[in-house]
Structure 1
Amino acid sequence: QQQKCKQYMSAELKIPTPHSDCKTACILLGQSLKSDLMCQFENHIADFMDGLIEESMILEAAPVSAVFSSSLSDKERGKLRHLHPHSQGKQFISRRSLLDELFEVNHIRTIYHMFIAALILFILSTFVVDFIDEGRLVLDFDLLVYAFGQLPLVVCTWMCMFLSVLLVPYNLFHLWCQSQSSSHGKSRLCSWLFGSVYLIYQTLGLGFLPTYVVVTNSFPPASCFIIILEQVRLMMKTHSFIRENVPRVLTWKKDKNPAPVVPQLSQYLYFLFAPTLIYRDKYPRNPVIRWSYVATKLLQVLGCLFYTYYVFVRLCIPQFRSNSLHLFDLRAMVLCVFNSILPGVLVLLLGFFAFLHCWLNAFAEMLRFADRMFYKDWWNSTSYANYYRTWNVVVHDWLFYYVYRDFLWMSQKHFRTVALLCVFTLSAVVHEYILAVCFGFFYPVLFCLFMCFGLMFNFIVHDQRKGPIWNIFMWTSIFLGQGVIICLYSQEWYARHYCPQKESSFLDFLKPRSWSCQRPLMADS
C-alpha cells in the first residue's frame, strides 16, 4: 500500500520551477498533503481489515474445543493467531506453567513460603514428640521405607513394560503401513490381523501382566502406584500414537500419494517421555535446558514426598491408631470425616503440586518441551465443569479427543450426554482400578463420589454459575470429599490389617471388612 502511495505521489506531485508563481506552489503543496493523508487513511483501513480477517479465522476454529475448554486469555489468543486456523486437533504452543508465572508475584510466593514453614513445623513437632517419648532423636522413616519397598523389582518391571511399548506398537504399525500398498483384499486382511495383535498386546501384555506381577509379589502401596500409573500412562500413549497415525496412512492410501508419512522411531521415543498424551511428530521446543530449574523441581518433588510423609505421621496415623473399629457408628464416622479434611486437602494440594507442576515441568525442561500448560487456574473454578477441564489438562485432552469427540464422530454428533457419561465412567473406573490394585481391596468410595456427586454437580453447578459463592461451594465440596476419601479408605486399610482372613478369596476382595471388623486398633501402625 505504501508503494502505491509513493507511485501516486510521484505521478501527481510536480516541483514548481523557479518561474512558477506562489499560487501554483500552494496548490501543489495542498495536493501533496491530500495525497499523504489519503495514503495514511488507506493504510489504517488495510490494517484494520487484516485484523478482522485474522480474528475471524481464530473464531472459526474456536468451536472445535469450546465444549471442554475455558475462555482464553488475551496472551493465549495472541499466540493462537500464529497457528493454522482450520486444524481440528490439539495445538501445542510455547507457554509457561501458570504457577511459574504466579510465583514471580511476591504475594503469591508468600503462600508457597507458608507451606514450607508448615513443613518445618511438622518436622520439629515430630522431633520433639520423639524426643519426649524416646528420650532421643529418632530419625527413622519406616513408613517411607515400607511404602517404596521392592524397588529393584519395580525397576525391572518398568523396564520390561517400557521396552515392550517401545518395540511392539511401533513395529506393528510399521508392518501394517507396508501392507497397505498391496491389493484391497490383502490389505484389509492385514488390517484385521495387525489390529487383533495390537488389541491382544494392549489387553494382556500391557494390561494383565503388570497387574499380575504387582498382585503376586504383594507390592507395597507407593511401589504399586508407580507400576500401575505407568501402565495406564503407557496404554494411553500407545493408543494416541496409533489413533493419530492410522488416519494419515488411510488418507495416503485413498489419495494415492507417493508414500505414507511414517513417524521415525526417535519421534515415537520422544513422545513416550514427553509430558503429553497427544502424539505429534513435532512439538514446540525451547532452545536450551535450564538444569538449575530441573534440579529445583526435582528437589520440590522430594520435599512434597516428605511433606506427605509427615502429614500421615502427624495427622492420619495417630487418629486411626487411637480409634476403635465398630460395625457402624454414625457419630464416629462424622467425626472421622471432619478430622480427615485437613490431611485430605494437604495430600490433594501436595499431589497436584508435586506431579502436575514439578514432575511434569522437570521432564519438560529436560526434553525442551515448550508447552507447559499441564493445568489451568482450577482453584478459581465456580463450576464443576470448569474444574474438570482445568485440574488436569494432560488427561483431559486425551479424554476429550479420543473418547468424547470420537464417540460423537461415531454417533454422527448425536448423544452428547451419552458421550459425556462415557468420559465420566471411564475416568471413574480407571481411578477405582488404580486404588483397588494398589490398596489390595475394592472399596468403591471414589467411584461413587465421582459417578454420583461429581456427575450430578457437573450438570447442576455448570458454567453459567458465576460469582464467589459458587467458588466457595466448590472448595467446600472438595474439602468434604477429600475427608470422606481419607476416612473411609483408611478405616478399610486398618480393618484389613487388624482383622485378617485366614483364606483370601475374590469375594473377600470385594467385601468391605471395615463393616464387620470390631477389633480395636493396636498401638503399632
Structure 2
Amino acid sequence: MAATDTSNNVRHRDTSAPQKDHPTENSLSTPGVKPAELHADELRNWRKHVEQVKAGILEEVQDQLSGLLDRAITESMESFSQHANGHVDTNGPKNATRVHKPEDGKVFIARQSLLDELFEISHIRTIFNMFIAALFLFIISTFAVDYIDQGRLVPEFDLFFYAFGKPSVVLWSWMFMFTYTLLGPYFALSVWGELYHSSAWKTLVSITAALLLGVAEAAVLLVFPIYVILHHQLPPVSRFIISVEQIRFFMKSYSFIRETVPSVIKNKPKEGFSPKLPTLSSYLYFLFAPTLIYRESYPRNPYIRWNYIGLNLMKIMGSIFYLNFILVRLCIPVFTNDNIKPFTTKTMVLAMFHATLPGMLMMLLGFYAFLHCWLNTFAELLRFADRMFYKDWWNSTSFTNYYRTWNIVVHDWLFYYGYRDFLFLSKRKFRSAAMLIVFAISALVHEYALTMLFGFFYPVMFCTFAVIGVMFQFAMNDKRKSHFWNIIMWTSLMLGQGIHVCLYCQEWYAQIRCPRTGTSFWELVTPRSWFCDYQ
C-alpha cells in the first residue's frame, strides 16, 4: 500500500506541476492537428523504425550464426569421420588424429536432402501439392480431349512405350558394362599393385598398366555403347539410359583408380606381404552408391525405410507420366503443325516462347525425379547417409552459385578430379583456364548425352553451356547478392529451356520429314531444320 501511495503521489506531482525545462503538450502542437493524432503518427513512425532496425539486426545475426554453425558442424563431422575411418598419422607423436586437409578431398557426413527438410514446412508442401494438382489437370484434359475427339476414355501411351522400347537390349548391354566396370579396374589395380612394389621398373609398369586399362576403358565404355545404340536402333530413352550409364561407369572407375593408386604407392607392403588394396565389396557398394567420389566406407543409416522407398518410386513414375503429358499436350501439337516454317523470325520467336513453360516444367521434373527421388531411393536402399545431392540452387543470385549447387554429385567429381587436379599440375597458376576446361568437358559430355538421346548432332546445349554459360559465369558471379539477380537467373533459365525445347523439337521433326540422303560428314553434322521445307 505504501508503495502504491508513493507512486500515485509522484504521478500526481508530475502531471500537476510540469518542469519548466520541458515543453508542454500545447507547445508541441501543430496548428490544425490534434495532439492525440500527432502522438499516434509519431508512435507509428517510431514503430516502423524499430521494425526496420529489428529486421536488419536479425538478418545480420542470422547470417553470422549460420556461417558459424555451418563451419562448426563441418569441422566436427570431419573430425568424427577421420576418427571413424582410422585416419591416423603414424608419424606423429602418440598416433595423434591427423588434421583434415583440403587435398584429402570430400568428407561425407550424415544429412538429409534439402527438399525432405523443406517439405516438413506446410507452406513449401503446398507448392508441391500445386504441381500434383497440375498433373491431375493434365490427366483430366487428356481424358476429355480423347473422349471428345475420338470417343474413347482410355488414354494412349504410345509415346511412353515407344521411348522405353527394346528393354532387353538395354538390360544385357548394361550388365556387360557393369561387369567390366566391377572386375576390370579392380583386377588391373591388383596386378599393378603387386608388380609396382616388386619390380625395379616402376615407371614402365605404371605406363603399361595405364595404357592397357585405357584401351579396355575405351573399348567397353566408349565404343561398345555407341555400337549397341546404332546397331540396334534403340528408341530415345533406351539410348539415353545406356549413354548415361556409360558416362557414370567411366566416372566411377576413374574415381576408384584415382583415389586408390596414391595410397598403394605411398603404403609400401612389408616383405613377403601383398599391398593393401580396397575390398571388392567396398568397390561394389560404391558402384551403386549415389556418389561419384570413392571411399572405402561411408556414413550409414541404422535401418531402411521401405515406405520412403515406395513413396519415391511412385513419385518417379508420376514424374515420368507428367513428362509424357507435357510432351503430348504442350509440345507435339505445336511442332507437328505442317504450317510451321523453320527459322523465320516470327515462327522462331513464337515457338521459343511457347516452349518456355514446358521446357521449365521438364527441367524441374528432371531435377525432382532424378536428383531427389532416384538418388534418395538408392541411398535409402544402401543406407547411405549423406543425402546432399543438391543445395538451394533456386535461391542463387549468380550462375556461379547455380552451377555449384544444382548437381552436387557431378560437381564434386568435376571439382576434385578436374579443377583441383589441373591446379595441382599447373602449380595453381591458371585458375581461369582450369575453370574453362571444366566447363568445356561438362558441355561436351552433356552434348554427347543429348546426341545419343535424339540420334542427331545439333550442338545447342554445347553452345548455351560452353559459350553463354561461361559469359554468365563472369557476368553473374558471387558478388551479386540482390534478389533482382535471382529474377535474372530464373528468366535466363526459362529462356534457355525454351530455346532448347524449341530447337531440338524442330530438328527432331525435320529429321523425320527430310531424311538424310547420304553419309558424308557435313551432312551428318548439318542440322536438317536449317533447310528442310515443311510444306
Q: Tell me the TM-score normalised to structure 2 length.
A: 0.82
Counterpart in the other structure of 1:94: 110
Are 2:357 and 1:342 aligned? yes
Counterpart in the other structure of 1:77: 72
Q: 1:449 to 1:73 in 2, by over 3 A?
A: farther
Counterpart in the other structure of 1:455: 470
How much has 1:181 moved relative to structure 2? 2.2
Aligned sequence identity (%): 54
Counterpart in the other structure of 2:222: 207
d(CA) in 2 for partners of 1:306 and 1:225? 17
How much has 1:488 moved relative to structure 2? 0.3
Counterpart in the other structure of 1:498: 513
Are 2:124 and 1:108 aligned? yes
CA contact (8 A) 1:326 1:515 kept: no
How much has 1:505 moved relative to structure 2? 4.0
Are 2:125 and 1:130 aligned? no
Are 2:484 and 1:489 aligned? no
d(CA) in 2 for partners of 1:170 and 1:259? 15
d(CA) in 1 for partners of 2:170 and 2:153? 32
Counterpart in the other structure of 1:431: 446
Q: 1:301 to 1:500 in 2, by over 3 A?
A: same
Q: CA offsets, 1:430-457, max 9 Å, x none?
A: 0011111221111111111111111001
CA contact (8 A) 2:391 2:406 kept: yes
Q: Which amino acid aligns with 2:460?
A: V
Which of the residues 114, 137, 154 maps onto 1:121?
137
| Count of residue pairs brought into register by the alignment | 449
CA contact (8 A) 1:252 1:259 kept: no
d(CA) in 2 for partners of 1:179 and 1:160? 28
d(CA) in 1 for partners of 2:343 and 2:435? 36
d(CA) in 1 for partners of 2:292 and 2:507? 34
Counterpart in the other structure of 1:26: none
CA contact (8 A) 1:229 1:434 kept: yes
Q: 1:327 to 1:355 in 2, by over 3 A?
A: closer
CA contact (8 A) 2:335 2:506 kept: yes
d(CA) in 2 for partners of 1:79 and 1:354? 28
Counterpart in the other structure of 1:422: 437
Q: Which amino acid aligns with 2:128?
A: Y
Q: 1:400 to 1:303 in 2, by over 3 A?
A: same
Q: Which amino acid aligns with 1:449?
A: T
Which of the residues 220, 232, 236 maps onto 2:235?
220
CA contact (8 A) 2:146 2:155 kept: no
d(CA) in 2 for partners of 1:506 and 1:120? 46
How much has 1:324 moved relative to structure 2? 3.0
How much has 1:398 moved relative to structure 2? 0.1
How much has 1:76 moved relative to structure 2? 6.6
Are 2:151 and 1:156 aligned? no
| Unmatched runs of 5 consecutive residues or more in structure 2 | 1-65, 80-98
How much has 1:77 moved relative to structure 2? 3.5
Q: 1:199 to 1:474 in 2, by over 3 A?
A: same
d(CA) in 2 for partners of 1:507 and 1:257? 60
Q: Which amino acid aligns with 1:178?
A: E
Matches within 5 A, 1:277-426: 277-326=292-341, 328-426=343-441
d(CA) in 2 for partners of 1:139 and 1:459? 48
d(CA) in 2 for partners of 1:502 and 1:82? 61
Matches within 5 A, 1:34-53: none
d(CA) in 1 for partners of 2:185 and 2:262? 16
Q: CA offsets, 1:61-95, max 9 Å, x none?
A: xxxxxxxxxx9672573253132342331000000
How much has 1:208 moved relative to structure 2? 1.1
How much has 1:201 moved relative to structure 2? 1.4
| Unmatched runs of 5 consecutive residues or more in structure 1 | 1-70, 521-525
Q: Which amino acid aligns with 1:276?
A: T
Partner of 1:132, secondary structure, is helix
Q: Which amino acid aligns with 1:249?
A: V
CA contact (8 A) 1:408 1:416 kept: yes
Are 2:512 and 1:517 aligned? no
Matches within 5 A, 1:133-144: 133-144=149-160
* Larger RCO (CA within 8 A; separation ≥ 6): 1
Counterpart in the other structure of 2:9: none
Counterpart in the other structure of 2:186: 170
d(CA) in 1 for partners of 2:460 and 2:74? 42
* Divergent runs of 4+, >3 A: 253-260, 502-506
How much has 1:322 moved relative to structure 2? 2.0
Counterpart in the other structure of 1:182: 198
CA contact (8 A) 2:259 2:294 kept: yes
How much has 1:506 moved relative to structure 2? 3.5
How much has 1:188 moved relative to structure 2? 2.6
